[in-house]
With several copies, the nearest count.
Chain A
Amino acid sequence: MDTQLSEAAIARVRGVNLSEFPTDLYVPPEALRVFLDSFEGPLDLLLYLIRKHDFDILEISVSKVTDQYLQYINLMDHLDIYLAGEYLAMAATLAAIKSRMLLPLVATEDDEEDDPRAEIVRRLREFERIKRAAETLDEMPRLEREYFPAFATSRAPENQPLPEVDMRALMSAFSDVLLRARYREHHEMTPEVLSVSERMADILARVASAKRFVPFVALFELQEGRLGVVVTFLAITQLLQLGRVNVVQRGSFAPLYVTAAGCE
């Protein structure tokens, strides 16, 4: 099992095999790119991180996995690697779960039901099932790869009818192609890239220029949609982690304010 996982993550950079992602920040950007390319999305990356931790999955803490995940996302962002919205959305989900785990929630009778991890765990399990299923499928012998149809030419007189095609069928086929091509144009436009590091700079500038506190909610631009909110949220948490801003709150459930560090 473990050999298989490390194999999956192997990247070759400048002729050197990377069997594991280096933990320090000194990583050639192309290594990261290869690394990211080898994942089929955020669930895959998350699963890899959980596995890589090698410790007992029984003791897995969402907090650790979330920190790791955010580190990777952050690193990739610094290196200006385009991150799909799915990766950022997952980061936000994890951050939300982490914060819920930290909050002293009112204890409920049924812990299982209210475990904020339940949903993500369910998704990870389903994803892993499908991942294994895909591997199984690929290993299953199939026609034209392991098996070839064994057949003798029929001695039948060569008057086998050929397929008939009429104009209507041809037109319908072509309009299908055109419709699909048009659909692709609409849906495969690259979305505008929102960069977490850029957002961090914006927020820092705003907070520094403000005389006192900036309301936390004022930093979000709702018209940027969910992705924009996620990016802003990530940027604030990053700044917080780096000690560049402080978030203050006067009491439980009171509004949050953001200030530049050392300005209080």
Chain B
Amino acid sequence: MNKLALGEVVEAMLIGSGEAVSIDQMRRAIVDVGEIEGGVAKLNERIGKVIKELQAACDGRPFELFDTAAGFRYVTRAQYAPFISSLKGQKPPTYSRATLETLAVIAWRQPVTRGDIEQIRGVRLNSSILRALLDRDWIRITGHKETPGRPALYATTRAFLDNFGLKSLDELPDADELLTDRVQEGLLK
């Protein structure tokens, strides 16, 4: 087998895996297979440089190279979504207000118990909502609160960050900034 150029190998892995891939995962695969031009010295650094080049090469193309919590992933740009949805013949799922609010409480206030969610929203929480979010792999149980009944504590997952194109939870907008000025200033007076 001829030695292969790192650039093409990284591009092939990114476009061929169909999932987000981290630099570390790519380095391991390359070390595992070998046969790379320039050997395996300083691989992480070199892969990082290739990724920068690939990102730049997306300019003017209908796809881009995303950097999320789970790694790097090629995705088509938003303006082409209607065509792909139409091709697949299925509408993207929409989520109810109750589901989105539950997810928001978990994302912004994690880790939280079911009781915390009910307390903040002021209504009982239907179990199927947590179930659907667990099923979607957007939330997970991270432990149990040491209070009577040891209720489960929920937090968001890496897949959640990956799905929303986030690198970390810090990228979520600050909750206080989301408040309208009127409530912010007015209510307490």
Contacts and interface: CB of A to CB of B under 8 A. Distances in A.
B187 A125 contact: yes
A142 interface: yes
B188 interface: yes
Interface string A126-149: 111111111111101111111111
Interface in A133-183: 133-138, 140-157, 160-163, 165-167, 169-171, 173-183
A225 to B, nearest CB: 16
A257 to B, nearest CB: 35
A86 B179 contact: no
Given A148-B75, A151-B74, A153-B75, A177 B121 contact: yes
Contacts, number: 247
Interface stretch (A9-17, A36-44, A102-110, A242-250): A36-44
Nearest to A141: B78
A42 to B, nearest CB: 5
B60 to A, nearest CB: 15
A171 B80 CA distance: 40
A140 B105 contact: no
Contact of B76 (A118, A147, A188): A147
Contacts of B73: 149, 152-153
Interface residues of A, number: 74
B3 interface: no
Contacts of B100: 134-135, 137-138, 165, 169-170, 173
B18 interface: yes
Contact of B81 (A42, A132, A147, A163): A147
A25 interface: no
Contact of B93 (A90, A141, A160, A171): A160
Contact of A130 (B95, B104, B165, B173): B104
B92 to A, nearest CB: 4
Interface in B15-53: 15-19
B104 A137 contact: yes
Contacts of A256: none
A124 B183 CA distance: 9
A58 interface: yes
Residue from A126, A151, A162 with most neighbouring chain B CB atoms (10 Å): A151
Interface residues of B, number: 63
B178 A183 contact: no
Given A134-B104, A147-B66, A174-B104, A187 B127 contact: yes
Contacts of B12: 150
Nearest to A44: B122
Nearest to A152: B74
A132 B74 contact: no
A84 interface: yes
A171 B178 contact: yes
Contacts of B163: 142-144, 165
B103 interface: yes
A141 B76 CA distance: 12
Given A41-B122, A154-B84, A58 B76 contact: no
Given A125-B187, A134-B101, A157-B81, 9 more contacts: A57-B183, A57-B185, A86-B123, A133-B175, A160-B88, A160-B93, A165-B163, A170-B107, A177-B105
25 contacts: A40-B123, A57-B183, A84-B124, A86-B124, A123-B122, A129-B175, A130-B120, A130-B175, A136-B104, A136-B173, A138-B95, A140-B165, A142-B165, A144-B92, A147-B77, A147-B78, A148-B18, A152-B63, A153-B73, A155-B75, A155-B81, A170-B164, A174-B105, A174-B175, A177-B104
